[in-house]
Each structure stands twice: as C-alpha cells, then as structure tokens.
Structure 1
Amino acid sequence: MKAAVLQATKQIEVLDWNYRSPSPKEVIVKVKSCGICGTDQHIYHGHPGSAEVHPPIVLGHELAGEVVEVGAEVSTPQKGDRVSIDPNIYCGTCEYCRSNRAHLCNHLQAVGVTRDGGMGEYCVVPNTNCYKIPDHMTFEEAALVEPLGCVLHGFKKVLLSPLSKVLIIGGGFIGQLFLQLVKQQNVDSIIVSEPAENKRELLYQLGADEVVHPMNASNLEADVVIECVGRADSMELAVKSAAKGGQVLLFGVAAPETAISVSPFEIFSKELTIKGSFVNPYTHEEAISLISKKVVDVGSLISHRFTIDELPEAMADFPKLKVSKAVINQ
C-alpha cells in the first residue's frame, strides 16, 4: 500500500509499505480520511505522542474508513461497515486499567503512535477500537471524532453553571470544539483569547461573546479557564486569569521540556483548582453522537485537505500554511 512513513525527525517519505494480516481479533480498515493532529506535528519534530514513538512508523491517530477484512474471531464490525477508530489500546491488567483510569495505562499503545496509523491506504486495528458511524456522517467528520472525544474528556473535568465566566485560551481547532461544548451550557459569558484575526469571525459564529488578542488578555478574569495552546506563556496566563475559586484546565500539549512559572501563593490564596487532561477514555461513542446530531460542527472547521503524496511537504510547511485543521483524504 501507499503510506506516508515517518523515517526520522522531520523526515516523512511516501513509500510502498506492507501492512500485516489481522490477528483473530483485528480488522483491516481502508482509510478514507485521516486528521492531522497537533500531536502529529509534535511527533514529526521529535517529541513523544501519547506514548513513545519509534520510527519508521505510519502516523495518523484520527482516522475513519471502511472495514475490508476481519479476523477469524471478529463478529463485529463486519466487512463493509463504515467505522471511526478510537486509537488508544489499553492493557486491561495494570493498576490504572483496573481502577477505571485506563487512559493512564502503564502499557498504553495507540494506532498512529506506537503502531501504524491512518496516513496510509490501509490500517490494522483491534475490532474493539472500531465504532460504526451513521450513513449520513461523512468520513471527514468520522475522522474528527477522536479529537472531539479528547475534548469531551477535558470538558467533563470542569464544573459550569449559568453564572460561569469562561475564558478559552487558543481559538484553533481544539478551542473551537471547546467553545461549542461550553456554549451548550448557557454560561454567563465566553471570551476567547486568539491572536489570528482570520479566526475571529468563525469564533463569534461558534458562540464567543468576545474575542481578544493575547496581548490584551492580561487583565481578564474568569471562573473557568481552558488552555488549548500548550505554550508556557498561555499556561501562565491561564493561572493568572483564574478568579478566586476558579478552575484551570491545562489541555494544550506542551513540549516535554516546557516549564512554567506560577505563584504557589496565588494558587493558595485564590484556592484554584488546576487539572490536566490526557487522551479520550471511552468518549468515542458520545462524540459520534454529538457530531451526528449536529450539536458539534467539525466539518466546517477544516481549513486544509491533502493527499498522501502531498503530506511530506505539508508537514514541513505546517506553520507557514496557517493550518487550523487539516485532513488527508483518499
């Protein structure tokens, strides 16, 4: 099959790549659409994803397609089914798996991270990681179920009320998903901190009450702050902007060496709650429902579409292209 293979840091090549036969409990999916995640860019630049990455490997953990072959012990899904893939594979036996915290699994594997993913024509995945999608759902939408599932996991960590003033730091794709979920809660107000002028109109359409440039965000105060960037300055702004009794969700993926400076006294005196959020434990089905029912719009958030052949150049030029959300279609 044709696949875009990560050979080393900042080196992706389109190759004729062999995929293995499925085990008794695996299926082969013909990939129709695969999202390019910010984490894929992290991996491309030599950082880990949800787990350590060992090239050569086919990236792509946001994927959807059609089942074309099933293992000997697979009863569902069936050949011909249209599916979205949850990439995370848990061992089921470690202390975290056995205490309802499987996403913290000591032996976590992931499609497109520790094993070949969706940036190829075919992908081998466990049958239990396949979720059937409605006939009216596009494969692009189905590929973007995974990031919405991650956002749902983070979203459930904060408590919102009609009195909540919410600040979302980062108006890119992830911030846009959080914005739609928060809007559904009828909170008091939603402010988005985003430097890109070209995103402002969309952010207002999605429900922002105010969009501000980060340079003008230093005096903001919010009951709930959701950080979607992963930069040191934006995470420090998240803590500084939290009101007394506030909640801070650090969702953006920082580089492993990134460190931030915060005042413990500020955390103490404002009695802040600061939380992290990691991957998408068992939120895939709910995310499919939200997209299917048009509660959350993902399709209109796609800014770029590529083919596999275009991927090496696209990954190299990602910052220049000003990508909000990109997908690979086949």
Structure 2
Amino acid sequence: MMQAAVLYGKEDVRLETLADPIPAAGEIVIQVQAATTCGTDLKVWRRGGHARMLTPPILFGHEAAGTIVALGKGVEGWQIGDRVVANNSAPCGHCFYCQRQEYSLCPNLEFNNGTFAEYLKIPASIVTRNLLPIPEDLSYDLASLTEPLACVLHGIARSGFQPEQVHTWPSPPQIVVIGDGAIGLMFVGVLAQRGAEVIVFGGSDQRLAIAQIYGAKATFNHHTCGEMAALVRELTDGRGADVVIEATGVPTVWERAIACGRPGATINLFGGCPRDTQIRVNTEQLHYNELTLKGVFHNTPQFVRESLEFISKRILPLEHLITGMASLGDIESVLQAMKARQAIKVALHP
C-alpha cells in the first residue's frame, strides 16, 4: 500500500492509503523520488479542479521524477532501476491536429495526475512519446522541472520572438513578462539568455531579485510602480513592448498585458484564467495597431526534450525556484505556504 494525495474539491486535499499501482500492457510504474509543486497545482487546489486536466476526486500533482520499479507487458527500451522523468501528458499522434504537429491542441491528450504519491503509474501513450532518461549527474529535483520549462519553451516559440532578431534588429527585442511565479521567472531566464531585453512586473521583491539573477533588464513591484502600461511606454521610447507575456492567469491582468504592447506586438496570454471568465478588448487598438493576441497552452514532445536538455546543461540556476523541501505528509501546509506566497516551488520527497 502507498500514501498518495487526493484532491476532493476547493482547498480539500487528503493524504490517503491506496493500493500500489500495477502497470497494464505498455505502462510502467515509477517510485517518485521528487515531485515539485507549481502554480497550476495551487490554482487547481484553490479552484477545486481544472477545465482540461482533472476533475475531483482525483490523484493530485503533475511534476515528478523517479526510478522505474515495474514494467508492463510489451515495454521495451526501459529497465527496472532506470532514472526517468515523465511529462504529465502525451498527444495521440494521429488526429487532425497531431498530423499538423499542433500537439498541444490534440483533443485526445492523455493527462496523468498523481505525482504527490509514493508511486506513479505512467500510461502507455506517455511511455511511448514523453518518457525520458535522466542524466546521471542531474538531480531528481531539477529533473522534475522538465514539464513546466517545456511549457515555457513552447510559449516562447509561439510568442513571435526569434533569437535571430537580436542580431538583425537595430536594438534587442523588448519583452514584458507579467508574473513572478516559477513560470514567469522561467520565461525571464530563457528570454534573457537568448538575448532579449526583459522587463518584469511582479508582486514580490524577493522573487524579482531572482528575475534579476536570471538577467532581467528591469524589475518592478506592481504594488508600488504605478500604471503598468504607462511605465512600459516610458521604457520603450513611447511605443510599448515588442512582446508581452502574461503569466498570472488573472483576467484583469490579461487586459493590462494587451495595453503594454506596441503596434505590431504579440501578446501571449499564457496564464490560465478561471473557467468562463471574460476580458474586454479595445477593438480600435486591436485593429489599427495590428496586435496579435495569442493563447498558448501546455507543451509538445519536442519541447519536453528541449527542456530536459536545457536543464541538463545548467544554463540557468533553476535551483533558485525550489524554495523548500518537504515530505508527502506536509502537502496541506505546503499549499498554504504557496497561497501566502511564502514558497515558489517545493520539492516533495515521498
């Protein structure tokens, strides 16, 4: 029998004793060595569910790294004891969208929750398409960041920013990132590493300090900096940003993000808002400024692989994002600490 966290509803997660998972054909079971929390887990816990990924009651958590302890019939290329990281989903590979390599739009995406547990069963589709070996010199804690960083790399690719613009434009692209959670800070680090000039808005001076470590050109606490769009225009010769990335999932902030863009800007509305929320858009600004509003969701197998490679090369000190470690029994207090913004990501060690 194993211990596992089960989500029952709004701010209702319970540690339960469940039967150990048994792999069916094509599946594997891993012993979870590290499971990291994230902003999506916090939103799901606070809202009591997720529009696409889970409906309570359900096993909880979606970022993990571990070792294989059981192989289902027909699994090839893997052995018991292998160190692995599994993405929390996999596309079907054959639908209309997969045939066009739009894998994050696959209507048959198979999601896998339950990383806040001693053991985790990995579905056959993920074993086939999104299970990767962890390099021997990479810790389980850092490897567990593969999924969120893959989402960030996907988001950057969809944002209209290309690294060659740094060399072909008369000045570096100016990109605004709104949000200082783990996702926002990952955006900052990767974009700055690729040569963009990044302006960051967040609500925590401690988190904004990490943004500075990651290469942000300027950081501002939104509690004290005044009107965001006006400040962005001041910093960009009156134009606005080339790209704006919203990473909070708050509808009013989506509207502020749109206001921060220059004519011709791409606005990446990355943070997932609550179900059935709406925003208002100035149609004149959208039309005459030729804005591109982009909703970007999840990741693809390509970016899962690029993410693990990026982490393995130690390009960014991603350990700054793991601000605590805890046992599985501490899941309730960990989520409360995240709610109070006292932690960015916590590595649970079942």
Is the shorter-chain TM-score for this pair beyond 0.5, marking a shared fold? yes
Task: Determine whether 1:326 maps to 2:346.
Answer: yes
Choose from 258, 261, 269 the match for 1:250. 269
CA contact (8 A) 2:31 2:66 kept: yes
CA contact (8 A) 1:31 1:64 kept: yes
With 247-256 and 215-224 compared, the bigger mean Cα shift is at 215-224
Provide the rounded CA distance (Å) in 2 between the counterparts of 1:205 and 1:41.
25
CA contact (8 A) 1:247 1:274 kept: yes
Structure 1 residues 252-280: Cα deviation after superposition (integer angstroms, max 9, x where no partner): 11111322122011011111111111111
CA contact (8 A) 1:51 1:108 kept: no
Q: CA deviation at 1:238?
A: 0.9
Q: Hey, what does 2:4 align to over in structure 1?
A: 3
Q: Hey, what does 2:186 align to over in structure 1?
A: 177
| Structure 1: tracts of 5 or more residues without a match | none
Paired AA for residue 116 in structure 2: M
Task: Determine whether 1:306 maps to 2:308.
Answer: no
CA contact (8 A) 1:153 1:281 kept: yes
Secondary structure at 2:348's aligned position in 1? Answer: strand
Measured at CA, do residues 175 and 250 of structure 1 come closer, stay the same or move farther in structure 2, by a change above 3 Å? Answer: same
Provide the rounded CA distance (Å) in 2 between the counterparts of 1:304 and 1:259.
35
Task: Determine whether 1:285 maps to 2:305.
Answer: yes
Matches within 5 A, 1:123-142: 123-125=120-122, 126=124, 127-128=127-128, 129-142=130-143
Matches within 5 A, 1:1-330: 1-49=2-50, 51-112=52-113, 117-125=114-122, 126=124, 127-128=127-128, 129-160=130-161, 161-162=165-166, 163=171, 164-187=173-196, 189-214=197-222, 215-216=225-226, 217-219=228-230, 220=232, 221-282=240-301, 283-330=303-350
Measured at CA, do residues 202 and 46 of structure 1 come closer, stay the same or move farther in structure 2, by a change above 3 Å? Answer: closer
Provide the rounded CA distance (Å) in 1 between the counterparts of 2:249 and 2:328.
28
- Runs of 4+ more than 6 Å apart: none
Provide the rounded CA distance (Å) in 1 between the counterparts of 2:70 and 2:262.
54
CA contact (8 A) 1:166 1:191 kept: yes
Structure 1 residues 257-316: Cα deviation after superposition (integer angstroms, max 9, x where no partner): 322122011011111111111111111111011010012332221112221101023324
Structure 1 residues 203-232: Cα deviation after superposition (integer angstroms, max 9, x where no partner): 111101111132432311211111111112
Provide the rounded CA distance (Å) in 2 between the counterparts of 1:323 and 1:271.
39
Structure 1 residues 177-225: Cα deviation after superposition (integer angstroms, max 9, x where no partner): 11111112223x2210112122232211110111113243231121111
Q: CA deviation at 1:100?
A: 1.8
CA contact (8 A) 1:245 1:271 kept: yes
Measured at CA, do residues 73 and 177 of structure 1 come closer, stay the same or move farther in structure 2, by a change above 3 Å? Answer: same
CA contact (8 A) 2:38 2:182 kept: no
Measured at CA, do residues 185 and 50 of structure 1 come closer, stay the same or move farther in structure 2, by a change above 3 Å? Answer: farther
Q: Aligned pair count?
A: 325
Paired AA for residue 22 in structure 2: S
Provide the rounded CA distance (Å) in 1 between the counterparts of 2:326 and 2:341.
12
CA contact (8 A) 1:169 1:226 kept: yes
Q: CA deviation at 1:61?
A: 1.0
Paired AA for residue 290 in structure 1: F
TM-score by length of 2: 0.88
Provide the rounded CA distance (Å) in 2 between the counterparts of 1:20 and 1:72.
14
Provide the rounded CA distance (Å) in 2 between the counterparts of 1:50 and 1:284.
22
TM-score by length of 1: 0.93
Measured at CA, do residues 87 and 202 of structure 1 come closer, stay the same or move farther in structure 2, by a change above 3 Å? Answer: same
Paired AA for residue 124 in structure 1: K
With 246-255 and 15-24 compared, the bigger mean Cα shift is at 15-24
Secondary structure at 2:300's aligned position in 1? Answer: coil
Secondary structure at 2:256's aligned position in 1? Answer: helix
